[in-house]
Amino acid sequence: MKNVYLLGATGSIGKQVLDIIDNNPLDFHIVTLTANTDLDGMSALINKYHPKYVAMGQEEAANILRIRHPQTEIGHDTLGLIKAATLNPEDHEGLLVNALVGMCGLVPTIKAVEIGRSIALANKETLVIGGDLIMPLAKKHHVNIFPIDSEHSAIWQCLHDEDINSVKNLIITASGGAFRDLSRDQLESVTAEAALKHPNWSMGAKITIDCATMINKGFEVIEAHHLFGLPITKIKTILHKESYVHSLVEFIDGSIIAQMAEHDMRIPISYALFYPQRKLNSVPALSLSEIGKLSFAAIDLNRYPCLGYAYEALEKGGLYPCVLNAANEAAVQLFIEHKIAFLDIETIIRGQMDHVDNILNPTLEDLLKMDASVKEAVFITTLK
């Protein structure tokens, strides 16, 4: 039985992780759980799983939970996340599942790697911001990082037993998001509510907005670079509206291997949790005859400039990916709160990337300071 330390238990990915665990009760044991502000959701999880430790994003929420569950140790904020990620440091067979959203996932991941705990990673920002720190650290401590993103899981599966030197290109597919059929002019008046209606996937709010701007695909390019060790020139993106082909790998001999499946995150989650085995699940089989045909098209960076910003950030390196992510996090929050327009997101990101005093080999402290500085600048500039 594998011990699981789950960060982000009440979010979209976290709930699906728990669904898989519920269907395989003899394979997993929940040790720690975290959530941001969902008190009722976490209370229900405490009653069901009896975790050894729980952490909430805010102290107020943690205090309420302490009253409700006096027998459970409960922490909060970054220190709480770190403890949830690193509890039982001698448990090297345990698995940290990082299903957090945003910058908050970085430090707990680093601390877990430092104690030798393997990671099932759904938190894109961890590698976008800190990939240059985390991957060498994971190698040093012999830690596996198993991707949960459907695109990276697909690449991982396609690369099975293949020589990385025989890879010509990684090809990451993109649905185009909620506004894929709209012109630039039409984007000027779209709402946050409309942006949250993804045509193929049911996901959390931030990642759904990120799909609409296509910066999510840019984050995945940066992630792929760190996970698979390939240069930016070998990581491509392509528009695939159906989202049945989750990614492809092109080899130097002309062969292309693709991974296909239904739009269901339980497949990549299950692959990461059970690796190197595959496990029967309740996801419906993909019917090729019902699909009929698949479409692919080049992505226009004039239509989706945020994807280009991500390639630029990866090429420049240093603090640029951190700035990209921080500006996006702040801008998306403002958009969801109806304080800016949709196209303002890319304008804010471009503005912050144009004023980076870069450090090529930033420390964790450098990254944390830059993240806070960019977010403060965005909020002050936008809301003044």
Among 133, 38, 104, smallest CA distance to 375 is for 104
> Judging by DSSP bridges, how do beta strands 28-35 and 118-121 pair with one another?
unpaired
Identity at 35, one-letter amino acid code:
A
Q: How many CB atoms lie within 10 A of CB 23?
A: 15
Q: How many CB atoms lie within 10 A of CB 230?
A: 17
Ramachandran region, residue 200 (left: φ > 0; alpha: ψ -120 to 50; beta: rest): alpha
What is the architecture, at CATH level 2, of domain 2-147?
3-Layer(aba) Sandwich (3.40)
Half-sphere exposure of 302 (CA within 13 A, CB side): 3
Token pair recorded at residue 298:
């080049």
Residue 168 CA to its chain's centroid (Å): 25
Token pair recorded at residue 93:
């067979």
Q: Tens of pLDDT along the chain (384 residues)?
A: 999 999 999 999 999 999 999 999 999 999 999 999 999 999 999 999 999 999 999 999 999 999 999 999 999 999 999 999 999 999 999 999 999 998 999 999 999 999 999 999 999 999 999 999 999 999 999 999 999 999 999 999 999 999 999 999 999 999 998 899 998 989 998 988 888 887 776 677 888 899 999 999 999 999 999 999 999 999 999 999 999 999 999 999 999 999 999 999 999 999 999 999 999 988 999 999 999 999 999 999 999 999 999 999 999 999 999 999 999 999 999 999 999 999 999 999 999 999 999 999 999 999 999 999 999 999 998 876
Where do the DSSP E strands lie in 208-272?
Answer: 235-239, 245-251, 256-260
Among 203, 197, 175, smallest CA distance to 16 is for 203
pLDDT tens digits for 336-350? 999 999 999 999 999
Backbone torsions φ then ψ of 65, nearest 5 degrees: -65, -35
Contact 84, 5 (CB under 8 A): yes
Identity at 207, one-letter amino acid code:
I
Token pair recorded at residue 295:
């479409």
Where do the DSSP E strands lie in 8-80?
Answer: 28-35, 53-56, 73-76
163-383 matches 2-147 in CATH topology: no
Q: How many CB atoms lie within 10 A of CB 60?
A: 12
- Distant-in-sequence, close-in-space partners of 354: CB < 8 Å, separation ≥ 6: none
CA distance 187 to 342: 7
CATH 1.10.3720.10 fits 163-383, yes or no: no
Token pair recorded at residue 13:
């990915």
DSSP 8-state assignment for residue 297: B
- Residue 91, exposed/middle/buried by CB under 10 A (0-12, 13-18, 19+)? middle
Q: Alpha carbon of 331 to those of 166, 251, 350, 381: distances in Å?
A: 40, 38, 11, 11
DSSP 8-state assignment for residue 260: E
So where are the chain's domains? 2-147, 163-383
pLDDT tens digits for 65-95? 999 999 999 999 999 999 999 999 999 999 9
Q: Alpha carbon of 364 to those of 38, 113, 130: distances in Å?
A: 29, 14, 8
Backbone torsions φ then ψ of 89, nearest 5 degrees: -60, -20
Sign of torsion, CA 265 270 276 280? negative
What is the reported pLDDT for 196? 83
Token pair recorded at residue 99:
């299903």
Contact 101, 204 (CB under 8 A): yes
Strand partners, 118: 95
